[in-house]
């Protein structure tokens, strides 16, 4: 379901109903009330209420319009909530995390059309960004911005190189409970220091290990480096762009900036948790 389109349609319909009532039905009610009051020494309150009663359809439209309009503005231009469906961003984001995404960090875009009308900023290296999956724009993905337009990005032996320079990583220790199979490292991308997860014996790579990021595109990686479908992997050699992960600017949704709740199993097997509430790094 295309929720943004549905929301726009609902706002348009309820807004039209509210406008129709304002222009056509409300004046008629006022005239009827005035005529009744002029003809009666002591007007009956029940009759006045009946004369002032709005048709049900118009009443619902007027009631829902301001609420839907506020939701549309907030969701389209300010902040939108998302839930993390997979572990590709561990340890930064866990399955079930509910995050908030800044919709204006990278510019104001029209709802549904997603056309940028006001440019405010550009994605920076290290940002955690939500975008529409290039192979299926109806699906939202979340990864970390690694390569900017014009960058040469290499991923060799689990080491990132940007324009020939290795990205600084520092070993933090084993992941608890992994029995030495998983390492946690601190990584510095631009001004952002964050953690990444690597499996010691797993080696997941792409058919090639070096890419040049096209203009207007971004190279994305998951923090769970051995369990992330991202810019390292082919889509189809006969389809442009060849890498789904070369995310075009038009697919950008916004910048993830906060975790506000975690609910790993919403089927009432457990309760929501607020232990992970905080800023996304």
Query: Looking at the annotation, which residues are catalytic?
Result: 88, 143
Work out the burial of residue 238: count CB atoms within 10 Å of its CB; fewer than 13 is exposed, 13-18 middle, 19 or more buried.
exposed
Question: Contact at 8 Å (CB) between 154 and 160?
Answer: yes
How wide is the angle at C-alpha 62 spanned by C-alphas 57 and 64, nearest 5°? 95
Q: Are strands 152-156 and 246-248 parallel, antiparallel or unpaired?
A: unpaired
């Amino acid at each position: 379901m295309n929720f943004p389109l549905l929301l726009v349609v609902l706002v348009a319909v309820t807004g039209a109903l509210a406008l129709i009532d304002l222009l056509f039905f409300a004046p008629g009610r006022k005239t009827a009330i005035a005529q009744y009051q002029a003809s009666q020494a002591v007007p009956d309150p029940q009759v006045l209420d009946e004369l002032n009663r709005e048709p049900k359809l118009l009443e619902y439209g007027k009631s829902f319009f301001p609420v839907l309009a506020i939701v549309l503005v907030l969701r389209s231009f300010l902040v939108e909530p998302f839930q993390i469906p997979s572990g590709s961003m561990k340890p930064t984001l866990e399955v079930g995390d509910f995050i908030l995404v800044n919709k204006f960090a990278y510019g104001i875009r029209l709802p549904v059309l997603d056309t940028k009308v006001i440019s405010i900023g550009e994605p920076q290296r290290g940002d955690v960004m939500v975008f529409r999956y290039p192979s299926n724009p109806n699906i939202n993905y979340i990864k970390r911005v690694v390569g900017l337009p014009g960058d040469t990005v290499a991923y060799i032996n689990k080491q990132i190189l940007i324009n020939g320079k290795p990205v600084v990583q520092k070993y933090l220790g084993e992941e608890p409970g992994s029995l030495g199979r998983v390492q946690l490292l601190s990584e510095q991308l631009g001004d952002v220091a964050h953690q990444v997860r690597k499996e010691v014996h797993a080696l997941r790579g792409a058919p090639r290990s070096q890419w040049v990021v096209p203009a207007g595109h971004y190279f994305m990686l998951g923090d769970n480096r051995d369990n992330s479908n991202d810019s390292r992997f082919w889509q189809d050699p006969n389809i442009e762009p060849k890498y789904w992960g070369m995310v075009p600017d038009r697919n950008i949704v916004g910048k993830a900036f906060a975790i506000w709740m975690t609910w790993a199993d919403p089927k009432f097997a457990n309760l929501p948790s607020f232990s992970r509430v905080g800023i996304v790094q």
